[in-house]
């Protein structure tokens, strides 16, 4: 029997059979060696469910990160808008003098003489921004005060009224008050000699602007000029 097998293996068919047998043996050895990893090639239902849960988890993490990025982008946009609208001394001049000059010009533009125009007072908001405030007061006709308020609204960069106080002018006549003591109105004549009522008020308020003296650091868009 052994002799016949030996003779068969010497033939081409025998050699082919031997080669096939050896190949099958090698595959069996390989499969046995990597039996633990075969499960990853053919995952079970539990593995598939776990993979789905992980995918949902990663998707939610991405959506959260995207929302956070959009929020930060909006904050950066608003921050840059504040910088653009803020007082910058290299552009607008020294705030201590130029702020007062702009307000004085606004009063002159409506032919109103202010009783008081205080000094500019500054206070820090943070390392980049500060407030600059200016107190003003005047006793005049209500219409003229309104014109002054509107003239101030035209100042650039924008300033706002942090505080406004308007009260009837109840000073006695010998102190510059209305002709009728205790009255808030005085009758005057216009160019057509017809009478009208003008209201005298005491006005005082505080103007405020936001100044920027930090360093401007903005990302340069690709393809833009450096």
pLDDT in tens, 5-48: 667 667 777 777 777 887 777 777 776 666 555 556 566 788 78
Is 202 domain-assigned? yes
Residue 141 pLDDT class (50, 70, 90 cuts) = very high
Which of 131, 129, 151, 94 has its CA nearest to residue 209? 131
The token pair that represents 17 in the structure block: 């059979």
Within this chain, do residues 117 and 23 fall inside the same structural domain, yes or no?
Answer: no
Is 83 part of any domain? Answer: no
Query: Cα–Cα distance between 59 and 195 in angstroms, integer?
Result: 77
| Structure token pair of residue 181 | 């003591």
Backbone angles phi, psi at 129, to 5 degrees: -120, 155
The answer to whether residue 67 is domain-embedded is no
- Who has greater pLDDT, 184 or 3? 3
DSSP assignment string, 25-52: HHHHHHHHHTGGGHHHHS--HHHHHHHH
Average pLDDT over residues 130-139: 97
Q: Judge whether 7 lies within some domain.
A: yes
Is residue 59, in this structure, part of any structural domain at all?
A: no
**Domain count within the chain:** 2
Domain for residue 145, yes or no?
A: yes
In a domain, 37, yes or no: no
168 has which bridge partners?
Answer: 201
pLDDT in the model for residue 191:
44
Task: Give the helix ranges, DSSP H, for 42-87.
Answer: 45-85
User: Which structural domain range is residue 13 located in?
Assistant: 2-28
Q: What CATH code is carried by the domain that includes residue 196?
A: 3.30.70.60
Q: Could you tell me if 94 and 205 lie in one domain?
A: yes
Residue 49 lies in a domain: no
Residues 95 and 202 in one domain: yes
Rounded (5°) CA angle 51-32-41: 20
Domain shared by 16 and 94, yes or no: no
Shared domain for 190 and 114, answered yes or no, is yes
pTM: 0.60
Polymer length in residues for the chain: 226
Return the SS3 of 202: strand
Q: Please tell me which of 12-21, 65-74, 113-122 the model is most confident about, judged by mean pLDDT.
A: 113-122
Give the percent of the chain with pLDDT over 70: 73
- Tell me the mean pLDDT in the region 170-176: 59
């Amino acid at each position: 029997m052994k002799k016949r097998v030996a003779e068969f293996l010497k033939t081409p068919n025998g050699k082919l059979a031997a080669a096939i047998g050896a190949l099958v043996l090698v595959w069996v050895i390989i499969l046995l060696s990597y039996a633990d990893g075969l499960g990853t090639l053919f995952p079970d239902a539990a593995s598939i469910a776990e993979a789905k849960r992980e995918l949902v988890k990663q998707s939610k993490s991405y959506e959260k990160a995207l929302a956070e990025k959009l929020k930060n982008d909006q904050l950066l946009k608003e921050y840059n808008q504040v910088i653009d609208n803020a007082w910058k001394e290299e552009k607008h001049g020294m705030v201590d003098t130029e702020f007062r000059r702009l307000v004085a010009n606004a009063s002159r533009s409506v032919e109103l003489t202010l009783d008081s125009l205080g000094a500019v007072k500054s206070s820090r908001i943070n390392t980049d921004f500060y407030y600059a405030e200016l107190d003003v007061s005047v006793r005049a006709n209500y219409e003229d005060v309104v014109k002054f308020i509107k003239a101030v609204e035209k100042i650039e960069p924008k300033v706002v009224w942090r505080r406004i106080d308007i009260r009837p002018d109840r000073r006695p006549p010998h102190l510059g008050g209305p002709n009728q003591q205790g009255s808030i109105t005085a009758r005057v004549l216009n160019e057509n000699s017809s009478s009208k009522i003008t209201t005298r008020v005491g006005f005082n308020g505080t103007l405020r602007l936001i100044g920027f003296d930090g360093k401007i650091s903005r990302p340069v868009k690709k393809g833009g000029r450096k």
